[in-house]
């Protein structure tokens, strides 16, 4: 699952994940994604922490308290991609 408000970034992540065999669900707003996550329990979530509609950290706190979380910033992502 990709939760990203920038369509180009969401598409980039979707392409990387689909090549590795993941089924992709994209959401462009974090607020409606929270009930979906609770109900569907996706195996992997890529979450934009800089949402304007709800803080990514607020979404993280409400959804992921019982799951491990790995935060990746733009610098780390660039190093892993390159």
Containing domain of residue 32, as a range?
2-81
Are 10 and 34 spatial neighbours (Cβ–Cβ below 8 Å)? no
Number of structural domains (the chain) is 1
Q: What's the pTM?
A: 0.69
79 — pLDDT class (breaks 50, 70, 90): low
> Higher-confidence residue: 50 or 23?
23
In this model, does residue 76 exceed pLDDT 50? Answer: yes
Average pLDDT taken over every residue of the chain: 74
Residue 25 — pLDDT band, cuts 50, 70, 90? very high
């Amino acid at each position: 699952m990709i939760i990203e408000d920038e369509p180009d970034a969401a598409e980039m992540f979707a392409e990387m994940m689909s090549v590795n065999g993941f089924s992709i669900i994209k959401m462009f707003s974090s607020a409606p994604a929270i009930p979906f996550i609770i109900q569907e329990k996706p195996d992997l979530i890529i979450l934009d922490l800089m949402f304007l509609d709800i803080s990514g950290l607020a979404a993280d706190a409400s959804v992921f308290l019982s799951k491990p979380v790995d935060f990746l910033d733009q610098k780390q992502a660039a190093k892993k991609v390159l």
